[in-house]
Amino acid sequence: MKNKILLTIIIGMLILTFVSAELSAPKFIGKQYGDIKISETCVIRGFPCPADFLCNITISDPDLNVVVLNSPMTKNDTIYNYTFSSTDLLGAYEYNVYCSNLTLSGNQEEVLKVTTTGREPNMMITILLLLCSLGLFVLALYMKNHAMGFISGILFLISGTYLMIYGFGDLADMYTRAIAYVIIAFGSFIVLISSIEWLEDIDG
């Protein structure tokens, strides 16, 4: 009983960790080797900056190397735009937008993230699918229930397919696809064995 409570607490802590990691999302997310369109507004004392304001951007890669230094941003009314294309490295890029005219100035620091998928990490669905699959599988072994084993195998197949398509969080590469193949193979094996034993029980 104590082991089950401890396991539940550990799983709960892991889920909370993933949720908190997802809440601290960067401002912009782009795909590796693709372009990221950065747009910022210039505001002074709650009002848009005057027309004579110019904004420059400086970007550092995840290794803290400066890849863009004081590059001018394109102005579109009160919005300043920049297209960032040096997205070879995966990870978080820090950038600083500095705006000024002859009398006033200001800056803003933000973070953008480069991932293999080009979207915000969302590991909750993958983790929940795998946990449900594993939980049903352990329950099926404990109860010796072939129907539950069959359902857990189907869930493993769904988990593997989801991992194959969407990757794990912000990572989708050869390794995540290899893991997905293993999960699909394991799910197929469970479905096959449980269905054979289920049919044998029905016939017997």
For the stretch 165-181, pLDDT in tens is 877 766 767 888 888 99
What confidence tier does 13 reach under pLDDT thresholds 50, 70, 90?
A: very low
Q: Could you give the CA distance from residue 122 to residue 166 in angstroms, rounded to a whole number?
A: 9
Residue 23 confidence (pLDDT) above 50: no
Dihedral sign from CA coordinates of 133, 139, 142, 147: negative
Q: What is the pLDDT of residue 176?
A: 84
| Exposed e or buried b per residue across 167-199, where buried means at least 16 C-beta atoms within 10 angstroms of its C-beta | bbbbebeeebeeebeebbebbeebbeebeeeee
Q: What is the pLDDT of residue 48?
A: 82
Q: For 129, phi and psi rounded to 5 degrees?
A: -60, -45
Q: What is the pLDDT of residue 72?
A: 94
Q: Strands across the sheet with 54-60, in order?
A: 28-31, 105-115, 91-100, 54-60, 66-72
SS3 187: helix
Q: Which domains are seen in the chain, by residue range?
A: 2-22+120-203 (no CATH), 26-115 (2.60.40.10)
What confidence tier does 25 reach under pLDDT thresholds 50, 70, 90?
A: low
Q: Could you give the CA distance from residue 101 to residue 183 in angstroms, rounded to a whole number?
A: 58
For the stretch 78-111, pLDDT in tens is 789 999 998 988 888 999 999 888 777 778 889 9
